[in-house]
Amino acid sequence: MSHAIDPYRISEEPFYQPQADEIELYEAAYAERLPVMIKGPTGCGKSRFVEYMAWRLGRPLITVACNEDMTASDLVGRYLLDAGGTRWLDGPLTTAARIGAICYLDEIVEARQDTTVVIHPLTDHRRQLPLDKKGELVHAHPDFQLVISYNPGYQSLMKDLKQSTKQRFAGMDFDYAPPPVEAGILVRETGIDEETAMKLVKIGATARNLKGHGLDEGISTRLLVYAAQLIKRGIKPNAACRMALVRPITDDMDIRITLDHAIDVVFGQA
C-alpha cells in the first residue's frame, strides 16, 4: 500500500506573522515529536500557523475539520464494498501516521469523545495506531506529529476535552495579535493601506471590549480580513464594516447600534 505524499505538501510559503516566540516553541516540540494543542479564539491564526509550520519543517500537512457526526472510522479508515468484495481505505489519521505528516485536527472539541480517544495510543510513547477491523498495528512514521486546536471560548461543559486527552499534549495559547501587528496582517493579506488597517483594528478592539457583556466572541482577525477585502474592492468602509464585522456577530440591537456608531466615529463619516 503506497501513499502519495505530494498532495499534502505545502509548496509555497504561507504568510504567517509571528506574535512572540511561538515558532521556536513549536519547533522544539516538533523536534521531540510532542503532540501539540493550540488554544485560541476563532479566526486568530491557529490554522494559518500550523500550515506555516508544516511548510517550514518541510512536512506534509493533513487537516481534518472535526464535527459532531464524525466517527472513529472517519479518522482511522474503513472497508469499502466493491464489486470484487471489500477493500480497506485508510482514514486521514492513518495516512498521516504512515507517511510521516503533521496531522491537524481542527476544532477537536466538536468531535464526540468516543471518537477522540482513538488518538490516545498515537500520543504517548507507543506512537501506534491499532486498526482493529483490519487487524493491523500501524507504527507511526518517525516524522509524524499530531496537532489539535480548539477554542476555549466555547463555553460548554459538554464540549470540554477530557482530562485524559488534554494531558497528552503540550499546549500553546493564541490570541488576537496586538493592534499594530494585527494591522500589519491586514496589510499583508489584502494590500489595504496601513491607516485603514489600523482603523479596522480599532473597531475590532471595541467589539472585543464587549465580550462577556452580550457578545460571546469579539470580531476575529478573519472578519477584519474580510472587511479589508471588501474595502479593497471599492466598497465604502462604513458599509463594508457593517457587513463584514457587525452583522455576522450579533443580533442584539443595542450592540449593533453601538458597533455601528463605533464604525462611524472611527472612519469619521456618517
Ligand X SMILES: Nc1ncnc2c1ncn2[C@@H]1O[C@H](COP(=O)(O)OP(=O)(O)OP(=O)(O)O)[C@@H](O)[C@H]1O
8 Å CB contact between 127 and 139: yes
Distance CA 38, CA 147 (A): 8
Site string for ligand X, 213-252 (x = CB under 6 A): --------xx--x---------------------------
Q: How far is the CB of 1 from another protein (least distance, A)?
A: 19
Residue 40 binds which entry of another protein, Mg ion, ligand X, none, with Cβ cut-offs from 5 to 8 Å by kind? ligand X
Residue whose C-alpha is closest to residue 47's, from 65, 27, 74, 25: 65
Amino acid at 6: D
Q: Which is nearer to Mg ion, 47 or 123 (CB)?
A: 47
* CB contact set of 236 (below 8 Å; sequence gap of 6+): none
Q: Which is nearer to ligand X, 188 or 242 (CB)?
A: 188
Q: For binding to another protein (CB under 8 A), which residues are involved?
A: 71, 73, 78-83, 133, 152-153, 155-158, 160, 162-163, 202, 206-207, 209-210, 212-214, 254-255, 257-259, 261-262, 264-270
Residue 48 binds which entry of another protein, Mg ion, ligand X, none, with Cβ cut-offs from 5 to 8 Å by kind? ligand X
Residue 185 binds which entry of another protein, ligand X, Mg ion, none, with Cβ cut-offs from 5 to 8 Å by kind? ligand X
Q: How far is the CB of 118 from ligand X (least distance, A)?
A: 22
HSE, CB side, 13 Å, CA atoms: give it for residue 19.
18
| Closest residue to ligand X, based on beta-carbon distance | 45
Q: Does 151 bind ligand X (CB under 6 A)?
A: yes
Give the three cell numbers for residue 45: 491564526
Q: How far is the CB of 235 from another protein (least distance, A)?
A: 18
Distance CA 64, CA 183 (A): 29
Q: How far is the CB of 221 from ligand X (least distance, A)?
A: 4
Q: Which is nearer to another protein, 33 or 87 (CB)?
A: 87
The 10 Å Cβ neighbour count of residue 30 is 19
Q: Does 204 bind ligand X (CB under 6 A)?
A: no
Residue whose C-alpha is closest to residue 259's, from 218, 223, 230, 227: 218
Beta-strand runs (E) in 18-127: 36-39, 61-65, 77-82, 85-90, 102-106
Residue 80 binds which entry of another protein, Mg ion, ligand X, none, with Cβ cut-offs from 5 to 8 Å by kind? another protein
Distance CA 8, CA 103 (A): 10
* Binding test (CB under 6 A) with ligand X, winner from 47, 94, 116, 123: 47
Q: Which is nearer to ligand X, 77 or 204 (CB)?
A: 204
Q: Which is nearer to Mg ion, 105 or 119 (CB)?
A: 105
CA distances from 46 to 36, 106, 154, 182 (A): 12, 9, 16, 14
Residue whose C-alpha is closest to residue 149's, from 96, 107, 93, 103: 107
